[in-house]
A and B are shown apart, each in its own frame.
Chain A
Amino acid sequence: MKHLFAFFLLVLAAALPATASDTPLKDPVQEAAARELMKEIRCLVCQNQSIEDSNADLAKDLRDIVREQVALGATPDQVRAYLVDRYGDWVLLKPPVNRLTWFLWGSPFLVLGGVLIAVVSSRKKAAVSEPLTSEEQARLDELLRAAPESDQIKGSEKQ
């Protein structure tokens, strides 16, 4: 029984990938910086996970690269640039603002602007009216003078 258990342990150990080390950096500050970066980097195999969350082999390799570069003193921007150089902007979970993505980032403001323009222009239309011509004014005065009478008519109609 003991032997069998040892055998299973061996099998398990063999199944673990040997190439990727995934050991944390010795300097806790650097390790924390590397971890922060890993949260921003997309795993290119599973695609909707960061490399920090992913178990894919490629994600492990990319974690190693991030740690390696941070240990060498690369700034977060330099590490990002290294990866973008190879995999494109897509490797960043948060797309950067650039020539290709301005519409993506700008669209909420464009929609908001459009709505504002629509609201303002419809209000203007309602508020502004042509002044009455003298003829219209005369007719209005006449109607107002006749108003009490018409009320009486309405009243009689009701009955």
Chain B
Amino acid sequence: MTGFKRFIPLLIVLLLGAVFFKSMTDGHNPKEIKSVRIDKPAPVFSLRLLADEKIQATDAILKTGKPVLVNFFASWCAPCRAEHESLMTLAFDKGIPIIGIAYKDDPIKSQRFLDSLGNPFAQVVVDRAGRAGIDWGVTGVPETFLVDGDGIVRYRHWGPIVGDAAIGRVMAAVEDLE
């Protein structure tokens, strides 16, 4: 064995160690499933408004010419409570309109949830059967999508938006559009 060759196994071990260390520490959640919706038009939907069951809202409410966040939430979902404060910040401090989609939730309970914690949503629609959630590729609530002014999905935040770092990531995605 020449001088260099004998160090090859050591190099391999060090390289693998670096790869494992990086994937352990980069904050990546292995359960997170990559969204296939990114850079594709938002799914078509027609759902009743939480505020008025006679009014159907369609995906047209996403095409306002400005970036819009779409947040799937439910009153029965604990992480949604945890992220609520962040949504209030995004809506009122950062001025980003948020469309809420109440996922598999009793509209009365959704309303009570918003009454007690505050309502960060410009509009709330009701996805009682969870079919809109499936169309968006949602695997669990909360999940948040950023839709650009033309109705194209540009970013997906998986799980609750908690903490400044998470808000920062969402804001960075919004700023990327501008």
Contact = CB atoms under 8 A, between A and B. Distances in A.
A87 interface: yes
Interface in B83-129: 104, 128-129
Contacts of B136: 86
B1 interface: no
The 6 closest A-B pairs by CB, nearest first: A88-B36, A44-B139, A86-B137, A87-B137, A61-B130, A90-B33
Interface in A83-133: 84-88, 90
A58 interface: yes
A88 B139 CA distance: 12
Interface residues of B, number: 17
7 contacts: A44-B33, A58-B134, A58-B139, A85-B36, A86-B37, A86-B136, A88-B137
Given A44-B33, A90-B33, 20 more contacts: A19-B129, A44-B139, A45-B139, A58-B134, A58-B140, A61-B129, A61-B130, A61-B131, A86-B37, A86-B134, A86-B135, A86-B136, A86-B137, A87-B33, A87-B36, A87-B139, A88-B33, A88-B34, A88-B35, A88-B36
Contacts of B33: 44, 87-88, 90
Nearest to A65: B134
A58 B37 CA distance: 18
* Best-buried of A19, A61, A86 by chain B (most CB within 10 Å): A86
Interface string A18-39: 0100000000000000000000
Contacts of A57: 104, 130
B5 interface: no
A47 interface: yes
Nearest to B34: A88
A70 interface: no
A16 B88 CA distance: 34
Interface string B135-155: 111011000000000000000
- How many A residues are at the interface, by size bracket? 10 to 19
Contacts of A84: 36
A45 B104 contact: no
Contacts of A45: 139-140
B28 interface: no
B31 interface: yes
A62 interface: yes
Given A45-B140, A47-B31, A86-B137, A19 B36 contact: no
B134 A62 contact: yes
B74 to A, nearest CB: 11
A47 B32 CA distance: 10
Given A45-B139, A86-B36, A19 B134 contact: no
Contacts of A58: 130, 134, 139-140
Given A88-B33, A88-B36, A19 B130 contact: yes
Nearest to A83: B134
